Amino acid sequence: MKSLIPLALAAILFPGLISAQDKSFDNSPIPSLDLYRYLGVWYEIARFDHSFERGMDNVTAEYLLRDDGKIDVINSGWKNGRYKVADGKARQPDPKTDPAHLEVSFFLFFYSPYNVMMLDDDYQVALVGSGSPNYLWILSRTPALDTKVLNAVLKEASDRGYDTSKLIWVDQDMNKATVF
């Protein structure tokens, strides 16, 4: 029983470690990324369910370049009539050979993979994954996507082995984002 405790603790603290062995999905990043064009505000169109965003709508992610070369990450949205913000940081471990693979941290020095897996030529739509098939985001520079564009992103996710039926569609109606 005692030998299971470290394994359970590792599964809680590092969820990508255990599922990283599952190669039935492809989370590889795109070959190139112009970080300066990627910076700015992105609307979350859809995501897989996870505890840190559960119940949130009007969700955005803002990426700002810091003087030290890292990126400030400001995730915000509304939950139960209250505005929530999570401040984090991101880094590019290998910007020259693997620029679309980033690592994101919202807690101390614990970083998780952040892979830009699909990005249109105009940097308006992105498909982002992690080290686990349990994390997936569809991001856009606008609160809604054209059906044709959305279908292309969904096909890419499906082709990579993600179960798109598990996506949660984020309500981006700012009229509902008022404090009660």
Domains of the chain: 22-175 (2.40.128.20)
In this structure, of 18-22, 40-44, 58-62, 68-72, the range with the lowest mean pLDDT score is 18-22
Q: What is the rounded CA–CA span in Å between residue 113 and residue 131?
A: 5
- pLDDT score recorded for residue 177: 52
Cβ neighbors of 65 (< 8 A, separation 6 or more) are 35, 36, 39, 71, 72
Round to the nearest angstrom and report the end-to-end CA distance of the chain. Answer: 48
Average pLDDT of the residues in 93-114: 91
pTM: 0.83
Report which DSSP code applies to 157. H
Asked whether the predicted pLDDT for residue 8 surpasses 60, the reply is no
Residue 72 pLDDT class (50, 70, 90 cuts): very high
Handedness of CA 162, 34, 59, 113 (dihedral sign): positive
- pLDDT score recorded for residue 13: 43
